[in-house]
Amino acid sequence: MRWLALGIFALAGITDFFDGYLARAWSQQSALGRMLDPIADKLLVSSVLMMLVANHTIISLSIWAAIIILCREILVSGLREFLAELKVPLPVSRVAKWKTSAQIFALGFLIAGPAGDALFGIITVIGLTLLWLSALLTLYTGWDYLVAGLKHVIEE
């Protein structure tokens, strides 16, 4: 079942990538798409993180990496909502796109988890390492957005 879950997850990640790529390439971007894309990313990442904690693929100290990721996503979403009321955009940074990619790769390895370990031995270790790397990128981008957003909050 982990391989099926990985296939579905990979399909979601690939279609998300091509959706954004093609929208930019064909100049088909919309306000609705700019709003829904990060929400879809956050829902995908958050739901998989919770599932991996619930089934004990992510355990012990690595749960903190998942908590960091979830907290940052909530913080940035709230900040974006607040800034939207002020008509201040908070565009997605390039590092934030790398962060999302790192999260997707980490979660892919972790979804394979024990099934991947049976074939290759270190799939879960790779996934947990990538999870911590993405948590560090998550902290960096969260701080970056917070600093950018607080400038507007302080001015109000």
pLDDT tens by residue, 95-120 = 988 998 999 999 999 999 999 999 99
Evaluate if residue 155 carries a pLDDT over 70: no
Evaluate if residue 153 carries a pLDDT over 80: no
Evaluate if residue 89 carries a pLDDT over 70: yes
Short-list 9, 14, 73, CA closest to 42: 73
Q: Side chain identity at 92, as an amino acid letter?
A: V
CA angle, residues 21, 22, 26, in degrees to nearest 5: 125
Answer yes or no: pTM beyond 0.75.
yes
Per DSSP, which regions of 107-148 are E strands?
A: none
Distance CA 52, CA 69 (A): 13
Q: Which fold has domain 2-155?
A: Four Helix Bundle (Hemerythrin (Met), subunit A) (1.20.120)
